Structure 1
Amino acid sequence: MTTADADATTSPGPVVVAEAVAVRQGGRELLREVTLDVRRGRVLVLRGPSGAGKSTLLRCLNGLVWPDAGVVRLDGADLRSLPAPAVRRRVALVSQTPVMLPGTVADNLAYGLASPGPDRLTRAAAAAALPSALLDRDAAELSGGERARVAIARALTRDPEVLLLDEPTAALDADAAATITTTVRALADTGLAVVVATHDDTLAAAIADEVATLPTGGRGAG
């Protein structure tokens, strides 16, 4: 793996660290020994060909997949030693194809929250560049770009420290992709640590503080 444009002397310390992480399944290598740091206020872009394991790595970073070798640490603690709900709140993953739950956009943002006050939902929507007028709309009626922003806003309602985005501009038109690009950069500028797996050269060039290129040879998803 190579990492470009990193400046450890000026950027905040890492919130998530992956150390020689590898994943194997059924005799196949899904992810080959990746080491990287995820820092607050910065965007780390994951690059690599299809099958290099970018999606698998994102799932390792929030404990949805456990590595067969290496370790993932959150603020210095091995992810395996931490309660899974706490990890998923602190390290939020937005998948490539966001799933919209039945009901309104507000219902989607409030899902799983113990006290989903309207101010909390409005703040999350605003941070994801989602107009408040959409909160009462049926989520099934949204465009692809709106769904992508709802998924980001839903993750933000839990006040994560790290946001993981898997191909956030895939299948979006140019205007929707540009909105996502601006939103991701703005979120990092507030101090959020962001990791983006993408094949989109325009997105990567616009948002990346650091670029990690996964080694070839893995046969995982993404």
Structure 2
Amino acid sequence: MKLGLDRKLGIHRFLTSWRSADDPGIGDFSLMIKPNGSPQIFVYNGTEPISRSPPWPWRSQMGLYESTFVNHPDEIYWVYTVPDDSYLLRIIVDHSGLLKVLTWRESDGQWKDYWKAPVFQCDYYGLCGAYSTCELANHNRFECACLPGFEPKYPLEWSTRDGSDGCVRKRLQTSSLCQHGEGFVKVENVILPESSDSAWVDMSKSRADCEVECKRNCS
């Protein structure tokens, strides 16, 4: 089954949860592709986003199944395939809002959890706000941190471990942001930012070309 949008036919295919564990009526949670900007898969509670995938282009996912993403003017969709049809696999959003990948276990005739999300605090959408990162940490450490060159928007709230309002650029002595050593900083092990408002400028450019282009106009 395709998960996504058929623009030609005007069909939007998405998953919905059951109302409860034993009531198959339509529940509050859904899984769908948000096609704006750089497309992403979202889990929603009603209209509120709970969690999201990294934006497209996604890395190919290896494991029990292979993921394929198609993005062209008529259709935008995601499908998965199981090599050799060697086992049964299905994807659901359950009544509690968890996205689950399930595999069929022949030995006892049960569906078994293979993968689920959100699980960790950092899986939840917008936990740490704009211009920040969320790092998996033990319960004694605050998981939110500002990106290099940024500081908490509301330091008092930050000190109480509420990072939802995120960070702002550090106050500079001058009002201009240009010609002050701007460049690129490598930030590793993070999901790319929410991309609904991103714009495709030139798909043919390499990362190095993009860097040169940005440095020509730092604003």
Which is greater in Rg?
2
| Same fold? TM cut 0.5 | no
Bigger RCO (CA 8 Å, 6+ sep): 1
Bigger proportion of residues as strand: 2
Per the normalisation by structure 1, the TM-score is 0.28
